[in-house]
Chain A
Amino acid sequence: MKHRASKSILTAAGLIAAALFLGACGQKSSAGSSDWTEEETLHIAINSDIVSMDVHKTSNDYLVPMNVFDTLFTVKKTDDGTTSIEKSLVDDYDISVDGLTYNFTLKEGIRFSDGTPLTADDVKFTFERMLTLPDSQQTDYAISIKGARELLDGKATELAGISVEDGLHFTITLAEPFSGFLAELATPSASILSRYLVTSAGDDFGNLPEKTIGTGPYIVTSWERGSELTFEYNPGYWGEEPTVKRVTVKVMDATTMNMAFQKGDLDIIDCDNLDSAIIDQTYKTSYANSIVSVDRLGMNYLMLNEGIEPLSDVSVRRAIQMAIDRQSILDSIYGGDGKLEDGVFPTGCLGYSQDNQGWLKYDPDAAKRLLAEAGYQNGFDMELSLDSGADDARKNVVQIIAQNLSDIGIRADVRSYDHAGWLDLRNSGQMPSFLATWSLDFNDPDNVIYTFFGTKENTVIRSDNYPDEDTIKRVADARAIVDRNKRMSEYAALEKQLVETDAVWVPLFSLKHLFVVGDKIDSFTPQWAGWSDMYFTGVRLKE
């Protein structure tokens, strides 16, 4: 008995040792020992891992598409805060007078990082895949092409609107004119994939680094799910050689990220991931000269659901617009790093109209009078729905809004939902009132206004339930106006109608996005709309 017992303990100890040893051996060595030095390496962190490297299967994670793939066009931020569209994979193009036909020529000699040449057929393949992949999340970016609807509904096998003339030349025909089309082509959503590489990779495309091959400046060299991604410079890249040759992206929580940056193990930290207290007390003081900020092309708004009493009353909505002290929220929560917005389109967005700004003033007394006139002298109860996954700053903003509302007699009850539950309620059209942000995907007024007010279904899923069908139709029709000036003045008129006349939402502000850079960084240009995902080519390392 004595011997048996000690033997089993020995066996157990042996097993544990073996497990540890095997574990150590089983550890994957990072793919290919790197030729790049620490000086050429950029270390960054993200707060949750990407779900897929396949751009058609995600509409949230663009780190891989932005750095490993290319688009036909690209966006540059201009000095006046708006943007311009520049050619990327495209060498030359022209657009027919009716705004329907686009002729493109690709740059010569571009290859995917494994050597496969890029051809016009790959472009056709990319847009067809967007529409035919059963769980595609990017159908919106191909839907304006002629024949897209038929392909999506399974009534066609080919995308009629794209014709390939030869290896470099192709033509895209739209179903109706849409001047935002080039801007759509410039988003990472429209990254160009290779027919051959994607088809031969099968399910591994987007899952395995070695099977996820693009024409872009970087190659994904490893992806350890949940912990780390690494990138290396693609030596066959057709564009300018970046100073960053290797990138590690670690998944870290806020506290860890903060510690790693202060220790010098991270080169850029995204303040969106940090507590506002830490930003104020540490970064805005000790790192004040290392802060890089970019104006976000994004609108923060308080949605008011017109399908729910008494928010269905326009006087009540107007009273709420006047009751919220937006400037003091901006100053107290965000340290003034932003700008008040009075419309639908945030500053920098095409269609932004100076004429529609400056009309909304904080005036709780007028708000109270308006409420009384509407028959709510004793106020009413309403719900403010909060996503419990929101950051601290946003939770605090909601509390201040509730306070502002109570000042005019509205008893706002802040209710928390977990993220999935919150989305569920909002998409059902039943969420009474909530704070949210819309960040631009591509710079065109349609990207904002159509999302919220372009179709009946959209007004439901965004829980605004805007009822005016004429205006909804005008929003949809404005897409197809060919004359640029006419189109922009129609958007300005719609914006005025929606926010000033109908008080569909309380426009709040657009915010700056702050990053802090370490000693190794010479300069850093964040993505044009102020996304957290960055182009590594936008980082210049010191020599």
Chain B
Amino acid sequence: MSAAIRRSLGVVLVLFGVVLLVFIILRIIPGDPVSVMLNEHANAETISRIRAAMDLDKPAALQFFDYVGNALRGDLGLSYDMKQPVLTLILNAFPNTLKLTVLAAAFAWISGMGAGIICAMYPGKFPDHLFRTTSILGISVPVFMMAFFLQYLLYYKLSLMPLVYDGSLFSLILPALALSSASAGSVARLTRSAMMEQRDAAYLDTVRAKGLTRGRALLRHGLRNAIVPVITLMALQFADMLSGAVITESIFGISGLGKLALSALQTRDMPLLMGTVLFSAFVISVGNLIGDMINRVLDPRLSV
């Protein structure tokens, strides 16, 4: 139990560090949110008036502690650029990101693990070669090319799929496929190599001696042992996708966390950028925690 408390405390510390870091970086890089907001219509008077209205004329340290104080009370502030509460913007964007992530993860893991298992069961045979090649392809083709290819084929040529996200789950299939290809490739390769290790393990001989075929032995017993590193990878992938997939979101018009964070950076929108980074850091920390716990359940040795 104390381990859980220790870890949670660690999470809080990480979050504080993240906030401080983002704040400092935003101070260092050039660019002023009010100038971006006014763009071509800037004049000196308007800039200083709006800066004052947004408390940007206060000393940096004061701004920082104001921010932290408000954040602790659950108030992440108003977005400079979008004029809405940061929390509202994040909570509106997160469901889109979550749906995309869950769908992409489902595609990636089912196809990746399936391909990895088949490869391991027929090493050196045709399916092994086929899936090893496609998994390399999945990992190395950039997401925007994959997206373009999918849009061109399934929307433009075959008229089977909508071009961009329209709110329906159906329209999330293309972005999820594009986003999942790299993860699927990694999962396939890791599953294969982990299973291959088990294949040569001594205990499998014992199992086979009990009368199971090689394939069955591998599936029933080898898989259980091979899956631990795969789950760790999956947890990392999941957390990564959950913090926003900028390119996929931009191409398919999905208003998710990635797009929100990118626009916050471009407009030097401090509260929004802090909010999105804080939220992602929180999600990733919690994700790691959960990933650990699942592994402990699957492999009790880790708890000792």
Any chain A CB within 8 A of the CB of B50? yes
Choose among B32, B84, B106 the residue that contacts A424 (Cβ–Cβ < 8 A): B32
Q: Is the CB of B294 within 8 A of A8?
A: yes
What total of A-B pairs shows CB separation below 8 Å?
165
1/0 per residue, CB under 8 A from B, across A256-269: the answer is: 10011011010000
- Stretch of B2-10, B87-95, B123-131, B281-289 with 4 or more beta carbons under 8 angstroms from chain A: B87-95
Closest Cβ of chain A: how far from B122's Cβ, in Å? 25
Contacts of A436 in B (CB 8 A): 40
Any chain B CB within 8 A of the CB of A37? no
CB within 8 Å of A: which of B27-69? Answer: 29-33, 35-47, 49-50, 53-54
Any chain B CB within 8 A of the CB of A32? no
CA distance A57 to B98 in the complex (A): 31
Q: A59-B38, A135-B53, A256-B163 are in contact. Are A19 and B102 (CB under 8 A)?
A: yes
CA distance A51 to B38 in the complex (A): 12
- Stretch of B134-142, B193-201, B259-267 with 4 or more beta carbons under 8 angstroms from chain A: B259-267
CB within 8 Å of A: which of B196-237? Answer: 224
Closest residue of chain B to A8 (Cβ to Cβ) is B297
CA distance A224 to B254 in the complex (A): 10
Any chain B CB within 8 A of the CB of A425? yes
Q: Is the CB of B31 within 8 A of A423?
A: yes
CB within 8 Å of A: which of B118-156? Answer: 148, 151-152, 155-156
1/0 per residue, CB under 8 A from B, across A409-438: the answer is: 000000001111101110100000000101
Q: Is the CB of A424 within 8 A of B40?
A: no
Q: A59-B41, A225-B92, A461-B42 are in contact. Are A206 and B31 (CB under 8 A)?
A: no
Closest Cβ of chain A: how far from B173's Cβ, in Å? 12
- Stretch of A86-94, A245-253, A353-361 with 4 or more beta carbons under 8 angstroms from chain B: A245-253
Q: Is the CB of A224 within 8 A of B35?
A: no
Specify the main secondary structure of chain B where it touches its partner.
helix
CA distance A208 to B89 in the complex (A): 13
Closest residue of chain A to B47 (Cβ to Cβ) is A427
Contacts of B148 in A (CB 8 A): 255
Q: Is the CB of A1 within 8 A of B156?
A: no
Any chain A CB within 8 A of the CB of B251? yes
Contacts of B259 in A (CB 8 A): 226
Contacts of B260 in A (CB 8 A): 226
Closest Cβ of chain B: how far from A280's Cβ, in Å? 20
CA distance A228 to B254 in the complex (A): 10
Choose among B35, B53, B164, B300 the residue that contacts A423 (Cβ–Cβ < 8 A): B35
Q: Is the CB of B31 within 8 A of A137?
A: no
Contacts of A226 in B (CB 8 A): 93, 253-256, 259-260
Any chain A CB within 8 A of the CB of B167? yes
Any chain A CB within 8 A of the CB of B189? no
The list of the 3 closest CB pairs from A to B, nearest first, reads: A226-B255, A420-B31, A134-B53
Given contacts A60-B41, A457-B45, 10 further A-B contacts (CB under 8 A): A16-B102, A59-B39, A60-B39, A139-B49, A206-B83, A251-B253, A256-B252, A420-B33, A420-B35, A424-B30
